[in-house]
Amino acid sequence: MEKFKNYINGEWVDAVSGKTFLNYNPANLKDIIGEFALSDKADVDNAVKAAKDAFEMWRLVPAPKRGDIMRKVGDIFTRRKVELARIMTREMGKPTFETEGDVQEAIDTAYYAASETRRLFGNTVPSEMNNKMNLSFRTPIGVVGVITAWNFPIAVPSWKILPAIAAGNTVVFKPSKDAPHSGVIFAEIMEEAGVPKGVFNVLLGKGSMGDHIVHHPDVRVVGFTGSTNIGCQIGEVCGRLNKRCSLEMGGKNAQIVMEDANLELALEGVLWGAFGTTGQRCTATSRLILHKDIYDKFIDMLKKRAEKLVIGPGLEKGTEMGPVIHEQSLKNCENYVKIAIEEGGRLVTGGKRCSNPALADGCFFEPTIIADVTDKHTLFNEEVFGPVLAVAKAESFEHAIALQNHCEYGLSGSIYTKDVNRAWVAVREIQTGICYVNAPTIGAEAHMPFGGVKGTGNGHREGGWTAFDIFTEWKTVYFDYSDSLQRAQIDNY
């Protein structure tokens, strides 16, 4: 069996304890991907020390030179895109056309980070006083801890790692225990691109190890994507220890379809939004809000198409929807279906594990649609992270918006309508960080701010130029060339 190690200070090393864990292919649990280092506090200490030492060198490398390395990172991801996509599919399940998209998002992020290193603008502003100049510029912060989920095993880490390093920080990265191989490849690529030793470190392991990263006094920033439960715990610790943290947590995203919408287009949108990545995106469409005039008709259209989706291993050609991540996730989907029906939901299609014997060794769940869900129902309010879509009826446009906003999360929201005035009102009223008009709730682009309001986040935005706000600190400089003491607010008034 293949063995995979940690990457610390430019070296591939076993966990200090020598312990390992196994990871399995969710499309076939008999396929063991490999044996991975099971890191603990001692490994965190080693990685953070390496990152802290490397920071003293890396922060002084001119930003455009750091950008040159980021460009190479993008080139290598491009070269390895197809091969890497297959590795990702094997460990987390989604079809290869999706994992290729996942890698593409990292490529886009790498080139964006490279170009941004020549554009880390600050402001130069006149002083209140003569012969004095005021300016401000961004400075790197130090060691950044990156903790991510398995569903976008390359793209989401890249959103944090690449801007953090481009800005002059160093990183200790903990990939998900369900996607450790992707973390190993990330390190291979950074090494080949010439990222100096210690600047990027990867620790394989489980959640408790992430806790050591968050608590380590020399980790100054934590970038987290994952469940609301864990994210809130991280936020508490970081608040107490006065660390910056960026949290990207749950979602319960809704697509509204109004009576005047292009229904075929809205249908394509919801199929992709709800069942793409087997519903396992933080941006996934998990609520569909249909105007009453098209409610029955649209559910019919959706049922027919959902039942035709090709389900299978992501490595097989033609597969449209892969497995969920593990057995626990299957049970979770089953449980939500059971609760939804008990509470008065109507099962339109799906609702159970796939019965196809060819898929018996994997974690396959049918695309599931439950109609007549109301805002009182559990399924309307809780994130499932699987292919289970709740459908609710809206009496009017205002009701549709109210339903959309009846949600403790606020990542992504969508509306399908041809009425341009209504579309703009929706953009104004929908309480999410990302809003789509005539497009599904998934599909954010790497150069735009990404993140949510309410229970989804803590105010930061990854992606685009806003990622640099997470990973830099402002320094304000007053440069007095008057050769005299000029007392602000006193001598000039």
Cβ proximity to ligand UN1, 196 vs 443, nearer residue: 443
Alpha carbon distance 80, 185 (integer Å): 10
Instruction: List 475's β-bridge partners, or say none.
Output: 137
Q: Does 151 bind ligand UN1 (CB under 6 A)?
A: yes
Specify the 3-state DSSP secondary structure of 38.
coil
**Span 430-469, contacts to ligand UN1 by CB under 6 A:** 442-444
Q: Which stretch binds ligand UN1 (CB under 6 A): 58-66, 150-158, 310-318, 346-354?
A: 150-158
Nearest to 213 by CA among 148, 302, 145: 145
Q: Pick the catalytic residue: 248, 320, 366, 383?
A: 248
Angle at 173 between CA 169 and CA 175, to 5 degrees: 155
Residue closest to 198 by CA, chosen among 76, 61, 74, 2: 61
Residue 103, interface with ligand UN1 (CB under 6 A)?
no
Residue with smaller CB distance to ligand UN1, 312 or 440: 440
* Shortest distance (Å) from residue 252 CB to ligand UN1: 13
Question: Among 153, 106, 162, which residue's Cα sits nearest to residue 277?
Answer: 153
Q: Is 298 in the site for ligand UN1 (CB under 6 A)?
A: no
Tell me which stretch binds ligand UN1 (CB under 6 A): 210-218, 279-287, 384-392, 454-462.
279-287
Site string for ligand UN1, 176-215 (x = CB under 6 A): ----------------------------------------
Nearest CA to 4 out of 245, 198, 175, 147 is that of: 175
**146 lines the binding site for ligand UN1 (CB under 6 A):** no
Q: Is beta strand 253-257 parallel, antiparallel or unpaired with respect to 285-291?
A: parallel
Of 152-181, which residues contact ligand UN1 (CB under 6 A)? Answer: 152, 156
Judged by CB under 6 A, does residue 150 bind ligand UN1? no
In the complex, least distance from residue 151 CB atom to ligand UN1, rounded to whole angstroms: 5
Q: In the complex with ligand UN1, which residue's Cβ is closer, 46 or 283? A: 283
CA distance 440 to 415: 8
Give yes or no: 282 in active site: yes
Residue 88 lies near ligand UN1 (rule: CB under 6 A): no
For the bound state, the minimum distance from the C-beta of residue 434 to ligand UN1, rounded and expressed in Å, comes to 7
Residue 351 and residue 378: Cα distance in Å, rounded? Answer: 16
Active-site residue, 408 included: no
The helix (run of H) or strand (run of E) holding residue 219 is strand 219-225
Q: Are 258 and 414 in contact (CB under 8 A)?
A: no
Residue 281 binds ligand UN1 (CB under 6 A): yes
User: Sign of dihedral through CA atoms 116, 165, 216, 139?
Assistant: negative
Token pair of 276 as six digits: 């793409």
When the beta carbons of 374 and 438 are compared against ligand UN1, the nearer one is: 438
Q: Which residue is nearest to ligand UN1 (CB)?
A: 444
Find the catalytic residue in 245, 282, 407, 435.
282
Q: Which two tokens stand for residue 331?
A: 């049970």
Q: Which is nearer to ligand UN1, 227 or 431 (CB)?
A: 227
For residue 302, the tally of other CB atoms under 10 A from its CB is: 26
Query: How far apart, in whole angstroms, are the C-alpha atoms of residue 404 and residue 427?
Result: 12
| Other Cβ atoms closer than 10 A to 190 | 27
Binding ligand UN1 by CB under 6 A: which of 15, 282, 384, 389?
A: 282
Binding site residues, ligand UN1, CB under 6 A: 105, 151-152, 156, 225, 281-283, 442-444
Residues known to be catalytic: 248, 282
